[in-house]
Amino acid sequence: MEVLGNMESYKQEFIEFMVDCQVLKFGEFVLKSGRKSPFFMNAGGYVTGAQLRKLGEYYAKAIYDRYGADFDVLFGPAYKGIPLAVTTLIAFSELYGKEIRYCSDRKEEKDHGADKGGFLGSKLKDGDRVVMIEDVITSGKSMEETVPKVRGAADVKIVGLMVSLDRMEVGKGGKKCALDEVKELYGFETNAIVTMKEVVEYLHNKPYKGNIIINDEIKAAIDAYYAQYGVK
């Protein structure tokens, strides 16, 4: 497909990658928030070694592009954030030669053994600079649990959050998108590998492997969705 404007090449590749892995789908879906959406992104659809390897590379490039390499820990909230963090750290080490530690929380604290407690991986230490990683943020609810856990574990600085797709819809406050709400509420940067606007711009009425992924009908459904749930 043609290169669009100033969109980085890895963003274009990532959009195609989501389509190829059938992680980004279009139709009618009911989200956890109760909203009826014409599109759905499920990072749980990355299931093979090759897919996870590529996914880690895209996250690593986006994190480096937005936050550089000046951080100590990549935190992936349980459960989907765990494989995301692990594969991204492997890619980050290979691409940029920087060793970053991995940490995740447990849904339930472990009360036995040498690694008992509420976290997996490396312990958070005072002074650590932390980047958080998630698949997608729809309402920002997941951050309500995760951020206090991370900040409560040690005197750390959360540098920012990286998600794969910015759905670009209003959060719980009803005025700003969820990523902007998280940024305002917790005081750290929030970014995505790609935004839904970039996805639509790249795929609308453009053949990809012999198919039109977003035709005029799907585009109209997406526009109607954003008329209701998009940032005004």
Going along the chain from its start, the domains and CATH numbers come out as 9-229 (3.40.50.2020)
Residues classed as catalytic: 110, 112
Q: Token pair for residue 231?
A: 């940032």
Q: What letters, b where the CB count within 10 A reaches 16 and e where it falls short, cover 107-137?
A: eeeeeeeeeeeebbbbebeeebebbbbbbbb
Contact 154, 125 (CB under 8 A): yes
- Amino acid present at 94: E
Q: Read off the pLDDT band of 115 (50, 70, 90).
A: low
Instruction: Give dist(CA 139, CA 130) in Å, integer.
Output: 22
Alpha-carbon dihedral sign for residues 102, 103, 104, 106: positive
Q: Is 139 annotated as a binding residue?
A: yes
Q: Is 99 annotated as a binding residue?
A: no
Q: What backbone phi and psi angles, to 5 degrees, belong to 129?
A: -100, 125
Q: Residue 156 above 80 pLDDT?
A: yes
Task: Tell me what percent of the residues of the chain surpass a pLDDT of 70.
Answer: 91
Find the range with the poorest average confidence among 3-12, 13-22, 120-129, 196-205: 3-12
Give the model's pLDDT for residue 58. 96
Q: Token pair for residue 198?
A: 């970039």
Q: Is 110 annotated as a binding residue?
A: yes
Give the model's pLDDT for residue 128. 98
Q: Residue 6 above 60 pLDDT?
A: no
Contact 88, 117 (CB under 8 A): no
- Amino acid present at 86: V
Q: Is 167 annotated as a binding residue?
A: yes
Q: Residue 139 above 70 pLDDT?
A: no
Q: What backbone phi and psi angles, to 5 degrees, belong to 167?
A: -70, -15
Q: Residue 43 above 90 pLDDT?
A: no
Q: Is 122 annotated as a binding residue?
A: no
Q: Is the peptide bond before 79 cis (omega within 30 degrees of 0)?
A: yes
Instruction: Give dist(CA 198, CA 15) in Å, integer.
Output: 9
| Average pLDDT for the chain | 90
User: What single-letter DSSP state applies at residue 44?
Assistant: G
Largest alpha-carbon pair distance within the chain?
Answer: 57
C-alpha of 121 from chain center: 20
Alpha-carbon dihedral sign for residues 4, 199, 134, 41: negative
Counted residue by residue, the chain has a size of 232
Q: Token pair for residue 203?
A: 């795929």
Give the model's pLDDT for residue 3. 44
Contact 110, 82 (CB under 8 A): no
